[in-house]
Amino acid sequence: MTRSFLLGGALTALAAPAFSAGHENAADTGLSYGQRPAFLISKMADGPLKDELAACMGQTPARTAFSIGHRGAPLMYPEHTVESNRAAALQGAGILECDVTFTADKELVCRHAQNDLHTTTNIVATDLGAKCTQPFSPAEGDSDARAECRTSDLTLAEFRRLAPTMDAANAAATTPEDYIGGVAPWRTTLYEDDATLMTHAESIALFDSLGADFTPELKGASVDMPFDGFSQADYAQKLIDEYKAAGIDPSRVWAQSFNLDDVLYWIENEPEFGAQAVYLDDRYEAEDADEGLIDPMDAATFKPTMAELKAMGVNYIAPPLWMLVTLDESGEIVPSVYAEEAAAAELGIITWTLERSGPLGGGGGWYFQSVTDAIDRDGDYYEVLDVLAQDVGVVGVFSDWPATVTYYANCKGL
């Protein structure tokens, strides 16, 4: 399946920036790739792709909606902060993400999960740690240190008192202060100082000012729903209402959810937003009563099928990148059956997450599990990205360091 087929018709909406001239002129000043794309190219195996990418070193960076900031630029910045998203925008990301959850007073905030405050903020080392669902418990004997702190444990005013940190925790910690640590060595804490948390509404204003479009993800609740009378439908609707209140054109919003019912709610109740709602497909973990454990490479066993999703009004699907690629008999990276089925149903394909695996010398881990045997160097980020763009035909790629994707998209004219 070729990329030209997938980018026909309505699917070009995601592939091309949807900004006004004012946004582009104001926000694109000072865009920079930084050093990382050149570093990754230097680590590629010799060949035509490396030569082509190297020849683009002198190009002027341009914003592209093919490059999506995954929680901003969390390879080096605390995720879902003002600073992380400013960095992503400066790297040319045309779409930025706020993962959306809610506080005790039902205000929408940007967090990857409702129950991640203990790994992404300093809460356990503050007086607010006592309000956590599971306050900090130190490591002892064979037991790891533990905590579980939810946004729903706090009011919005309390949430604002927290300081963001890089996503990590020290399982061997014996004090709350020691628990805030364990950052992977290929990340950094250099940019943690004075990072700023955001509400969902604040993210809308920020992203708009940066010239970027929006991909909010409605996160599953850690609390039972309805929560104090706040139903799942109320939750899904409030996300959309905040874009309407800000006067954002629906064509600039790609609302996401792993819950298909949320996507179908938007299609039925907010059709302008539902037209480009994104189903984050996690059926690689699903179990079918008749088939047993579903083989993610055998898309025909998925229920609903790709064609059935399309018939429901779903236009975009977003699986992890390993679901879209596999190895052929010669060990080359090629599109998977899943990718071919999605393309045949004319679904726009978005994928996640590039640059989340760190150094690739060990095969790339979870995100590259279907092509591990072909991954042995950092330059393979670009080898996989090229297959995703040119052979699978994805229309957008989430990245923890958007400059990597922006550089590729600019070089290839996507």
For the domain that residue 369 is a member of, what is the CATH number?
A: 3.20.20.190
What SS3 state is found at 229?
Answer: coil
Residue owning tokens 């890089």? 166
Does any domain span residue 186?
A: no
Contact by Cβ (8 Å): 173, 145:
yes
What is the rounded distance in angstroms from the CA atom of residue 152 to the CA atom of residue 132? 9
pLDDT for res 14: 37
How much is the pLDDT for 19?
Answer: 30
In a domain, 256, yes or no: yes
Q: Confirm whether 89 is domain-assigned.
A: yes
Reading the block at residue 67, the tokens are 């490059």
Q: Which residues of the chain have pLDDT under 70?
A: 1-27, 29, 285-301
The CA-atom distances, in angstroms, between 156 and each of 11, 101, 105, 121 are 38, 12, 7, 15
In a domain, 77, yes or no: yes
In a domain, 119, yes or no: no
Domain presence at residue 146:
no
Give a yes or no: residue 120 inside a domain. no
pLDDT digit string (tens) for 4-33?
333 333 333 333 333 333 344 445 769 999
For a pLDDT cut of 90, what percent of the chain falls above it?
87
**Global pTM?**
0.92
d(Cα 158, Cα 141) in Å, to the nearest integer?
34
Read off the amino acid at residue 226.
Answer: P
Token pair, residue 375, equals: 């991954």
Closest CA to 167 of 224, 253, 99, 223: 99
- Assess if residue 172 is contained within a domain: no
**Residue range of the domain that includes 67:** 3-98+198-412
State the total domains in the chain: 1
